[in-house]
Amino acid sequence: MTRTNDIALFQAVDIKKNYGSVTALHGANLTAKRGEVVALIGPSGSGKSTLLRCLNFLEKPSSGAVVLGGERFEAKDFAKPNRTARGRLIGLRRRVGMVFQSFNLWPHRTALENVMEGPLQVLGVSRAESKDRAQALLARVGLTQREHAYPSELSGGQQQRVAIARMLATDPEVLLFDEPTSALDPELVGEVLGVMQSLAQEGRTMLVVTHEIGFARDVADKVVFMTQGAIREEGTPEEVLHGTRSEALRSFLGRFRRNEVRA
């Protein structure tokens, strides 16, 4: 891939996360350059989603820091945030969008209203401008004809595409995807991955927790393998997916290859 430049836009610095006596993250360090697509892979329970949620403080790290565009956000400053810290946290979340496994759409609002909410509430734009922006984004993800549908009237793939449009509505600098296809029926996965691939081609900075090894191989600039709460390998798709000497990673990838053969 040739989309990236050498500017480190987003960094996780020694991120640790404890749940009582259980350590979920053992000091993760990760860098995403501007325009880079980073795929995080690994077995369930390896800490991928926890790390992703720590990057915008939906999960508060036990220690460590996040750096976005040179601005450093220390975990200790947000343990019991004061007004200044809360304001900085809101600013971080405006700049770092996120798409979840389970869509998280407002069930009582239409697709259009779901996408309008961010510009209205977060950016403070007018209703007319918010509507124009939302309609353009729904067209962007192929849902022009479904803007007045409620989430219950949409397929899982359509709901996830609305969720992507909603994230894009506030124009974040970094896009986080937490297993965006894991809740979808197999026949709907492609429509969501297609939108994500087009975002990558636009030069968006993306961190994607995924079990879609084909996406990691074909779209990502960097692949990160995690297990037992730690980053074990990272590099280009060729280096990680085809050149690994790690028995843990070979075993993990072997499961997907066996599934492909059975399919």
Domain at 244, CATH number: 3.40.50.300
Kindly state whether residue 79 falls inside one of the protein's structural domains.
Answer: yes
Kindly state whether residue 44 falls inside one of the protein's structural domains.
Answer: yes
**pLDDT value at position 257?**
60
Kindly state whether residue 3 falls inside one of the protein's structural domains.
Answer: no
Quick: pLDDT tens for 182-240: 989 999 999 999 999 999 999 999 999 999 999 999 999 999 999 999 999 999 999 99
Kindly state whether residue 133 falls inside one of the protein's structural domains.
Answer: yes
- Angle among Cα 220, 221, 224 to the nearest 5 degrees reads 75
| Backbone φ/ψ region at 210: left (φ over 0), alpha (ψ -120 to 50), beta | beta
CA 151 to chain centre: 21
Kindly state whether residue 2 falls inside one of the protein's structural domains.
Answer: no
Quick: pLDDT tens for 140-172: 999 999 999 999 999 999 999 999 999 999 999
Give pTM, 2 decimals.
0.93
Domain residues for 206?
8-261
For residues 254 and 65, the model is more confident at 65
What is the average pLDDT score of the chain?
92
Q: Provide the number of structural domains found in the chain.
A: 1
- Work out the average pLDDT over 45-63: 95
Kindly state whether residue 58 falls inside one of the protein's structural domains.
Answer: yes
Kindly state whether residue 81 falls inside one of the protein's structural domains.
Answer: yes
